[in-house]
Amino acid sequence: MIKDQEYLKSKASYCLDLAKKLGATDVSVTVGNSISETVNFRNKVLDESNRSDSLAMGIETYIGKKKSSISSSNLLDENLKILIEKCIETTKITPEDEYNSLPDKDLLAKNIKDLNLYDQSHIENDKKIDYLKELEEAASDNKKIINTESSFTQDKSNFISANSDGFCNGYKTSTFTASCVTVAKDESSMERDYEFTSKRHLNDLMSPSDLGKTAAEQTLKKLSPKKIGSDKISIIFDKRISKSFLSSFAGAISSSSIARGTSFLKDKINQQIFSNTINIVDKPDLIKGMGSKYFDSEGVKSETLSLVTEGILKNYLVDTYYGKKLNLKSNGRSGGSTNLYLENGKVSYEELLKSSPKILYVTETIGHGTNLVTGDYSVGATGFLVEEGEFKYPVNEITIAGNFNDMFKRITLANDLEFKYTVNAPTMMIDGMTVAGK
Amino acid sequence: MSNFFDKSDLTRKDVDKIVSETLKNCDDGELYFEDSKSESILLDDNKIKSSNYSSDLGFGFRAISNEVVAYSHSNEISKDALNNSAKNLQSTLKSIKGTYNHEIPKTNNKFYDDINPIEQKSLDAKLDVLNKVNDYLRKKDSTVKQVTASFSGEQKSIEIIRSGGEALTDVRPLIRFNVSVMLEKNGRKETGVYGIGGRQSYDEYLKNDNWKNVCEEALRIASVNLDSKPAPAGEMKVVLGPGWPAILIHEAIGHGLEGDFNRKKTSAFHDLMGEKVASDGVTIVDDGTIDKRRGSLTIDDEGTPTERTVLIENGILKNFMQDRLNARLMNTRSTGSGRRENYKHIVLPRMRNTMMLSGKQTQDEMIKSVDKGIFAVSFGGGQVDITSGKFVFNCTEAYEINNGKIGSPIKGATLIGDGPSILKEVSMVGNDMMMDPGIGTCGKAGQGVPVGVAQPSILINKMTVGGTKL
Helix, strand, coil shares, percent, chain A, to 5: 25, 40, 35
Asked if A221 and A384 count as a contact pair (C-beta separation under 8 A), the reply is yes
The pLDDT of residue B1 is above 70: no
The whole-chain average pLDDT of chain B stands at: 93
pLDDT given at position B397 = 94
Q: Confidence band (pLDDT; 50, 70, 90) for B203?
A: very high
Helices (H), ranges, A312-391: 320-326, 349-353
**A132, A244, A366: which to substitute to probe chain B, counting the most B Cβ within 10 Å?**
A366
Taking only residues 331 to 390 of chain A, the set having a beta carbon closer than 8 angstroms to any beta carbon of chain B reads 364, 366-369, 371, 373-374, 376, 378-380, 382
Question: What is the rounded distance in angstroms from the CA atom of residue A30 to the CA atom of residue A163?
Answer: 9
For the segment B443-449, the average pLDDT, to the nearest whole number, is 94
Tell me the C-alpha distance between B324 and B104, whole Å: 10
Residues ≥6 apart with Cβ < 8 Å to A339: A282, A283, A284, A286, A289, A290, A291, A292, A419, A422, A424
| CB-based burial label for A238 (10 Å; 0-12, 13-18, 19+) | middle
Q: Where are the domains of chain A?
A: 5-220, 225-438
Confidence (pLDDT) at B7: 78
Amino acid identity, position A121: S
Q: Å from B382 to nearest chain A CA?
A: 6
Write out chain A residues lying below 8 Å of B469, CB-based. Answer: 434
Phi, psi of B181 (to 5 degrees): -130, 140
Residue from A215, A96, A105, A203 nearest A163 by CA: A105
Average pLDDT of the segment spanning B361-388: 92
Residue numbers in B near A371 (CB within 8 A): 412
Q: How confident is the model at residue B298 (pLDDT cuts 50, 70, 90)?
A: very high
Q: What is the mean pLDDT of chain A?
A: 95
Question: Would an 8 Å CB–CB cutoff place A112 in contact with chain B?
Answer: no
Let me know: does A195 contact A217? Beta carbons within 8 Å: no
CA distance, residue A229 to nearest chain B CA (Å): 8
Predicted confidence band at B125 (pLDDT cuts at 50, 70, 90)? very high
- Kindly report the three-state secondary structure assignment for every residue of chain B: CCCCCCCCCCCHHHHHHHHHHHHCCCCEEEEEEEEEEEEEEEEECCEEEEEEEEEEEEEEEEEEECCEEEEEEECCCCHHHHHHHHHHHHHHCCCCCCCCCCCCCCCCCCCCCCCCCCCCCCHHHHHHHHHHHHHHHHHHCCCEEEEEEEEEEEEEEEEEECCCCCEEEEEEEEEEEEEEEEEEECCEEEEEEEEEEECCCHHHHHHHHHHHHHHHHHHHHHHHHHCCECCEEEEEEEEECCCHHHHHHHHHHHHHHEHHHHHCCCCCCCCCCCCECCCCCCCEEEECCCCCCCCCCCECCCCCECCEEEEEECCEECCCECCHHHHHHCCCCCCCCEECCCCCCCCEECCCEEEECCCCECHHHHHHCCCEEEEEEEEEEEEECCCCCEEEEEEEEEEEEECCEEEEEECCCEEEEEHHHHHHHEEEEECCCEECCCCEEEEECCEEEEEEEEECCEEEEEEEEECCEC
* B38, pLDDT greater than 70: yes
Q: Which residues of B touch A225 (CB under 8 A)?
A: 388
Q: In terms of residues, how long is chain B?
A: 470
CATH number of A5-220: 3.30.2290.10
CA dihedral sign, ordered A304, A310, A314, A317: positive
Contact B124 A147 (CB under 8 A): no
Residues A141 and A135: beta-carbon distance below 8 Å = no
Q: Are B57 and B157 in contact (CB under 8 A)?
A: no
What is the mean pLDDT of the segment spanning B231-260?
A: 94
- Which residue of A51, A59, A263 to mutate against B (max B Cβ within 10 Å)? A51
3-state secondary structure B364-431: HHHHHCCCEEEEEEEEEEEEECCCCCEEEEEEEEEEEEECCEEEEEECCCEEEEEHHHHHHHEEEEEC
Tell me what pLDDT residue A263 has: 95
Residue at A107: amino acid letter: L
The enclosing H or E element of A395 equals: strand A390-403
Res B410 pLDDT > 60: yes
Q: ipTM score here?
A: 0.84
Q: For residue range A268-283, what is the model confidence (pLDDT) as tens digits?
A: 999 999 999 999 999 9
Q: Which of A54, A374, A434 sits opposite B233 (nearest CB)?
A: A434
Taking only the tens of pLDDT, chain A with its 438 residues reads: 889 999 999 999 999 999 999 999 999 999 999 999 999 999 999 999 999 999 999 999 999 999 999 999 989 888 899 999 999 999 998 999 999 999 999 999 998 889 999 999 999 999 999 999 999 999 999 999 999 999 999 999 999 999 999 999 999 999 999 999 999 999 999 999 999 999 999 999 999 999 999 999 999 999 999 999 999 999 999 999 999 999 999 999 999 999 999 999 999 999 999 999 999 999 999 999 999 999 999 999 999 999 999 999 999 999 999 999 999 999 999 999 999 999 999 999 999 999 999 999 999 999 888 999 999 999 999 999 999 999 999 999 999 999 999 999 999 999 999 999 999 999 999 998 999 998
Q: How far apart are CA A307 and CA B280, in angstroms?
A: 56
Q: Does A261 touch chain B (CB under 8 A)?
A: yes
* Local confidence band at B421 (pLDDT 50, 70, 90 cut-offs): confident
What percent of chain B stands above pLDDT 90?
81
CB contact under 8 A, B466 and A401: yes
Q: Quote the CA–CA distance of A96 and A91 in Å, as a whole number.
A: 9
Closest to A178 measured CA to CA, from A111, A242, A129 = A129
Q: Would the CB atoms of A367 and B72 count as touching at under 8 Å?
A: no
Q: How confident is the model at residue B3 (pLDDT cuts 50, 70, 90)?
A: confident
Contacts of B8 (CB under 8 A, 6+ apart): B77, B78, B79
What is the chain B residue with the closest CA to A438?
A: B235
In tens, the pLDDT along A383-408 reads 999 999 999 999 999 999 999 999 99
CB contact under 8 A, B266 and A366: no
Which of B47, B92, B416 lies nearest to residue A380, judging by beta carbons? B416
Q: Which of A72, A73, A264 to mutate to test the interface with B (most CBs of B within 10 A)?
A: A73
What does the pLDDT read at residue B2? 59
- Cross-strand partners of B70: A49, B63
- Round to whole Å and give the CA distance between B274 and B142: 57
What is the pLDDT, as a whole number, of residue A104? 96
Enumerate residues 179 to 198 of chain A having a beta carbon within 8 A of any beta carbon in chain B.
Answer: 183, 189-192
DSSP classification of residue A108: B
Q: How confident is the model at residue B413 (pLDDT cuts 50, 70, 90)?
A: confident
CA distance B185 to B189: 7
* Nearest chain A residue (CA) to B81: A53
Question: Among B29, B264, B68, B323, which residue's Cα sits nearest to residue A49?
Answer: B68
**What is the pLDDT, as a whole number, of residue A415?**
97
Asked whether the predicted pLDDT for residue B86 surpasses 70, the reply is yes
Residues of B in contact with A78 (CB under 8 A): 7
Q: Does the beta carbon of A231 lie under 8 angstroms from any beta carbon of chain B?
A: yes
Q: What is the DSSP letter of A343?
A: P
Asked if A262's CB is within 8 angstroms of B191's CB, the reply is: yes
